[in-house]
Amino acid sequence: MDSEKRPMLPLIGSEIVKSTLTALWFMFLTFPIMVIKISPLDKTIHWRWMNLVYVGAGAFFLSFLWRYFMERKVQGARADEDGGWQKRAGQRISTDRRIYLPGLIALGAFVAIFPFLFSSYQTSIMITALMYVMLGLGLNIVVGLAGLLNLGYVAFYAVGAYFFALMNHHFGLGFWFALPMAGAIAAIFGILLGFPVLRLRGDYLAIVTLGFGEIIRLILENWNDFSFGPSGIAGISRPGIMGASLTLHQHTIYLYYIMIVMVVFTMIVVGRLRNSRIGRAWIALREDEVACQAMGIDKAKTKLMAFALGATWAGFVGCIFAAKTTFINPSSFTFMESAIILSIVVLGGMGSIMGVVVGAFILILLPEYLRAFSEYRMLVFGASMVLIMVFRPQGIIGGIRQHYTFQRKPAADAGEGGDAACA
């Protein structure tokens, strides 16, 4: 970057002019609300001129900051064309054991003792965040890898939750039996949704899946005999360990560890799927449907597999959710949930596992811990989403592709001996 240094002085001059204009514009815009204050009781007008100064100074400073980051973004795009340090750094961190091993151990230790360091309330929030990590990773298969925009993902979450709740209510089925079955049932629902939408893509697919999500919710809300309607199902049993009776606090800790194991399991499975024959078929399908078929990939089968596998994780989490809250009703499964899960995937980075983990923590923990600024909570939340999308449209952490190394033999018969993923 040093090589293309431009003359600094005139540049700064024009930047100051730009920022001054922005500041003046903002001062003009906010004048009525920030400066004039009318008190209707004693019929007087207060002129708060100091506010005008604050707005001006603030806008001046922020516009500088905005343009600085915009400039960096443009330069970043240029740098990306010849490698991109982030990509290289990512590749390095994920391949060099000396760098990631100590970090991983420290993180593991922190995760392991987390419930003993923090209160039951914090642990409970963390469980929720971990549930969304799993949901995000599941949706990542469908949206991030296979490129099928699914706005009704919450339906599978509901299927898992209601499956466990109903089975528990009617037959007293335990959590550990219900968990794999909830996943399987959700997968079947995934295929059920998959069949009619095989020919659809993009916007059309999004609308149909949106409708599917609403259908499931409306059925749960209105079919009283089956789902107990809006009043929901209460008294769902928590996961037990060999019949031991646990206090509420102990239950939370137990559930926390279950979630940690489940999340690690999900990350391994999704990571392996991504770099497998099936995963590559999904990505190919996302990139170019016609070419994908012309390369001998069965479109229908591949799409159904993506829907089914994505839904499976939602089914798992649904079951865990029912066990965590011990009470479920249809209002937990609104479109808003689908939107949040989709935001996690897009914000974190489509097709990227670490991205989704980070995205879930940001989207779930940020509103939770911003409660201190209660009035501004949603404002900060919205602004941070807009900023991330402006400056990193590919998500916080973009997907990193598998790297292969080949030892080149000298002479004519070069090649062979590449490192496959199974090392």
Over the window 280 to 299, marking each residue x when it contacts other proteins by CB under 8 A and - when it does not, the resulting string is xx-xx--xx-xxxxxxxxxx
Q: Applying CB under 8 A, does 272 fall inside the site for other proteins?
A: yes
**Residue 201 and residue 143 in contact, taking contact as beta carbons nearer than 8 Å:** no
In eight-state DSSP terms, residue 239 is P
Bridge partners (DSSP) listed for residue 241: 244
Distance in angstroms (rounded) separating the CA atoms of residues 148 and 144:
8
In eight-state DSSP terms, residue 401 is -
Over the window 133 to 152, marking each residue x when it contacts other proteins by CB under 8 A and - when it does not, the resulting string is --------------------
Q: Least distance in Å: CB of 422 to other proteins?
A: 4
Distance in angstroms (rounded) separating the CA atoms of residues 60 and 22:
7
Q: At what angle do helices 85-95 and 49-81 cross, to 10 degrees?
A: 70
User: Among residues 71 and 288, whose Cβ is nearest to other proteins?
Assistant: 288
User: Among residues 29 and 414, whose Cβ is nearest to other proteins?
Assistant: 414
Q: Applying CB under 8 A, does 415 fall inside the site for other proteins?
A: yes
Look up residue 83 and give its amino acid. G
Q: Applying CB under 8 A, does 71 fall inside the site for other proteins?
A: no
Which of the residues 371 through 400 are near other proteins (CB under 8 A)? 399
Q: Applying CB under 8 A, does 343 fall inside the site for other proteins?
A: no
Q: Which of 136, 160, 239, 279 binds other proteins (CB under 8 A)?
A: 279
**Residue 111 and residue 260 in contact, taking contact as beta carbons nearer than 8 Å:** yes
Please state the φ and ψ torsions of residue 296, each to the nearest 5 degrees. 90, 20
Q: Applying CB under 8 A, does 117 fall inside the site for other proteins?
A: no
**Residue 232 and residue 333 in contact, taking contact as beta carbons nearer than 8 Å:** no
User: Among residues 286 and 324, whose Cβ is nearest to other proteins?
Assistant: 286
Q: Applying CB under 8 A, does 269 fall inside the site for other proteins?
A: yes
In eight-state DSSP terms, residue 326 is S
Q: Applying CB under 8 A, does 404 fall inside the site for other proteins?
A: yes
Q: Applying CB under 8 A, does 40 fall inside the site for other proteins?
A: no
Distance in angstroms (rounded) separating the CA atoms of residues 384 and 382:
5
Look up residue 153 and give its amino acid. Y
Bridge partners (DSSP) listed for residue 46: 37
Q: Least distance in Å: CB of 282 to other proteins?
A: 10
With vertex at residue 173, the alpha carbon angle to CA 169 and CA 177, rounded to the nearest 5 degrees, is: 145
Q: Which of 4, 41, 403, 411 binds other proteins (CB under 8 A)?
A: 403
Q: Applying CB under 8 A, does 78 fall inside the site for other proteins?
A: no
Q: Applying CB under 8 A, does 420 fall inside the site for other proteins?
A: yes
In eight-state DSSP terms, residue 295 is T
Query: Residues with Cβ < 8 Å from 69, sequence gap 6 or more?
Result: 391
Helix count (H) and strand count (E) of the chain?
Answer: 16, 2
Q: Applying CB under 8 A, does 11 fall inside the site for other proteins?
A: no
Q: Applying CB under 8 A, does 199 fall inside the site for other proteins?
A: no
User: Among residues 33 and 89, whose Cβ is nearest to other proteins?
Assistant: 89
Q: Which helix (H) or strand (E) holds 46?
A: strand 44-47
Task: Please identify, among the stretches 7-15, 173-181, 270-278, 385-393, the one whose residues bind other proteins according to the rule CB under 8 A.
Answer: 270-278
Over the window 309 to 328, marking each residue x when it contacts other proteins by CB under 8 A and - when it does not, the resulting string is x-------------------
> Tokens 């965040």 sit at which residue?
129
Q: Least distance in Å: CB of 238 to other proteins?
A: 28
With vertex at residue 380, the alpha carbon angle to CA 376 and CA 386, rounded to the nearest 5 degrees, is: 145
The residue count for binding other proteins (CB under 8 A) is 42
Q: Applying CB under 8 A, does 331 fall inside the site for other proteins?
A: no
Q: Applying CB under 8 A, does 96 fall inside the site for other proteins?
A: no
User: Among residues 249 and 401, whose Cβ is nearest to other proteins?
Assistant: 401
Q: Applying CB under 8 A, does 6 fall inside the site for other proteins?
A: no
**Residue 27 and residue 55 in contact, taking contact as beta carbons nearer than 8 Å:** yes
In eight-state DSSP terms, residue 298 is -
**Contacts with other proteins, residue ranges (CB under 8 A):** 81, 269, 272-273, 276-281, 283-284, 287-288, 290-299, 305, 309, 399, 401-404, 406, 408, 414-422
